[in-house]
Structure 1
Amino acid sequence: MLQMNPDKVCFIVLRARELQEEDLIENPEQDDDEDFDLAHEEAFDELDGHDPQEANPLHEELEGFIDAMSEDEQVELVALAWLGRGDYDKTEWGDALEAAADRSNQRTAEYLLGMPMVADYLEEGLDTFGLSCAEFDEARM
């Protein structure tokens, strides 16, 4: 069962969608030459050698928000994205959490924001638990 506040996930979804609108999160449909569906075992390693994102206040806000989350929340966030991406199903939630904890490092925000469809994945992950961002009110944050 998801332990973190779903409003935190919805805040990330909202901001990630704003970044997508500004083309600051890559859209996999824009570049057919790259494979954006990295296996989660390799994904953190793929961060090495990539240029950091251009400075953008919205990107920095979202990155700071994720970085400020507890380690347990960051682990859940990564596992939730993997769940929404289809790497795991709800019955494998414990396995997803364990894998995310094993791969946990100081680059969680960079990893998640490098996922082209992170907003969709997080929403799908929430939906797996019967949760939704439909009633999300940013004022509650």
Structure 2
Amino acid sequence: MAERPATLISSEKVCFIIVKAREYMGKDVVTIPDPGSNASDDAMSSVLEDHTDDPSEVELADIIDSLNDDEKIDLVALAWLGRGDETADNWEKLRSDALTARHTASTAEYLMGMPMLPDYLEEALSQFGISCAEYEAGRL
């Protein structure tokens, strides 16, 4: 396990983003586009489907967009670390690469385009001995 680097985004924010990304990315394909019924009548199954007006997508994008530039750079670097682009020992290089690799899309669009984003972020945190289970239990 590598020594935890001086990151500019808190573990709490990363864990919150992981939770929100799992909500957003855990959606299933829409089976009945316009069921014409009340969601409570069909056991709320439509909440698990990826509708175009899905509030979890907007919420995740808003959370990422609300981060300051340093936090966005760290978040991208953490995603790359969890994806296996570098090792935790090369954190400064990852961060530097994230700084210079400004994407034409927003940071939210870029990160939300990674189908395994929550797994990548969770893996990156684990390389520094951080678990979101602690966040969920209110101890982080």
TM-score w.r.t. structure 1 length? 0.72
CA separation of 1:110/1:23 partners in 2, compared to 1, >3 Å: closer, same or farther? farther
* Secondary structure, aligned partner of 1:22: coil
Which structure 2 residues correspond to residues 115-134 of structure 1 after superposition, within 5 A? 115-134=114-133
Q: For residue 17 of structure 2, what is the aligned residue in structure 1? A: 12
Gap regions ≥5 residues in structure 1: 25-52
Amino acid at match of 1:11: F
Is contact 2:20-2:60 (8 Å) kept?
Answer: yes
Counterpart of 1:100? 98
What CA distance in whole angstroms lies between the structure 1 residues aligned with 2:89 and 2:131? 19
1:66 aligned residue: 64
The percentage of aligned residue pairs carrying the same residue is 46
Decide whether aligned partners of structure 1 residues 72 and 107 sit closer, same or farther in structure 2, where only a CA change above 3 A counts: same
* Unaligned ranges ≥5, structure 2: 30-50
Across the aligned residues of Structure 1 and Structure 2, the Cα RMSD in angstroms comes to 2.2
CA distance in 2, matches of 1:122, 1:95: 17
1:88 corresponds to which of 86, 89, 96: 86
* 2:109 alignment partner in structure 1: 110
TM-score of the pair, normalised by structure 2: 0.73
> 2:52 aligned with 1:54, yes or no?
yes
CA 138–71 in structure 1, closer or farther in 2 if over 3 Å, else same = farther
Aligned length, in residue pairs: 112
Equivalence map 1:34-49=2 (5 Å) = none
Paired amino acid for 2:94: A
User: Shift of residue 139 of structure 1?
Assistant: 7.8
Structure 1's consecutive aligned runs of 4 or more residues displaced over 3 angstroms after TM superposition are: 137-140
Is the CA contact (8 Å cut-off) linking 1:11 and 1:138 kept in structure 2?
no
Question: For residues 94 and 19 of structure 1, what CA distance do their matches in structure 2 show?
Answer: 30
Q: 1:81 to 1:64 in 2, by over 3 A?
A: same
* Range with greater deviation from structure 2 (59-68 or 101-110): 101-110
Task: Give distance in 2, aligned partners of 1:132 and 1:84.
Answer: 13
